[in-house]
Amino acid sequence: MISPPTARPRRASALLLGALLVPVLAACGGGDGGSTSATPSATGSGQVPAANLTVLAAASLTDVFKTAGAAYEKAHPGTKVNFSFAGSQELAAQVKQGAPADALVTADTATMDGVRAETGEPTVIAKNRLVIATAPGNPHKIDSLKDLSDPHLKVVLAAPEVPAGRYSQEVLDKQGITVNPVSEEPNVRAVLSKVELGEADAGLVYKTDVAAAKGKVDGVDIPDDQNAIASYPAATLKATKNAAAADAFVDWLSTPEAQKILQDAGFQAP
């Protein structure tokens, strides 16, 4: 008597079911293939969570960050980057007072260190250096820092609590030069404006400020051994409600794309 042919069909059905399940499991990311679900990324276009970001940034970043922000928004659809520019010391005060913002970029590490309780780990994204800004054509023939001590010159500096003011005092003290400014301004762009408007004969600003005001002012270089290097740290604020998006923007500032924008504007590599 021959038994009913049941064992072989059952085995064939099991094999067929297994074959069908393999691609399904692979598509779900099982085994060594890893997950294919999207995760936030600092540089991958379309991977970063969409957000409306507010970035507090040093005044000397005004022009370059407008360019950088536009590039970032283009690469990350759905994200809007809004900048608030001011002196670094003013921005730090805003952070301490709980101003709603997502990230902070200052023109010196000392100011950033002063708000470390309110930020994540900062990263230096660029460097800068001082130059002497003069009227176009340098009518007073200013050649060096020591010329700024001429009492007949109207010299304007950033206030001592401003990074540019501290750097200025540092380079002047190093050379034993005394300057009596006609005014001390709340940020470096205010210094630049005074020279542009003819309200000052000279002022100490960043190299990038002179580049941004091309044709409106001239710049006199300061030798490296007499100069100070400004560092620009960036950090996410702990109080942000957009932590992943803010982290992504801060990380992006160190990417080749962002670095090219910064360096084309005259900033030095970090």
Indicate the domain borders of the chain: 52-127+231-264, 128-229
pLDDT given at position 237: 98
Say which residue the tokens 């270089």 belong to: 221
Question: 12 pLDDT exceeds 60?
Answer: no
**Which residues have CB under 8 Å from 228's CB, separation 6+?**
129, 130, 167, 170, 171
- The CATH number fitting domain 52-127+231-264, selected from 3.40.190.10, 3.40.50.970, 3.90.800.10, 3.50.50.60: 3.40.190.10
pLDDT given at position 146: 97
Same topology between domain 52-127+231-264 and domain 128-229: yes
**Which residues have CB under 8 Å from 230's CB, separation 6+?**
107, 108, 127, 128, 129, 130, 163, 164, 167, 206
> Would you say the pTM of this structure is higher than 0.75?
yes
The backbone region for 65, taken as left when phi is positive above 0, alpha when psi lies in -120 to 50, beta otherwise, is alpha
Neighbours of 256 (CB within 10 A): 8
Question: Averaged over 66-85, what is the pLDDT?
Answer: 97
Tell whether domain 128-229 is in CATH 3.40.190.10.
yes
In three-state secondary structure terms, 173 is helix
Closest C-alpha to 129, from 39, 60, 202, 52: 60
The pLDDT > 90 percentage for the chain reads 81
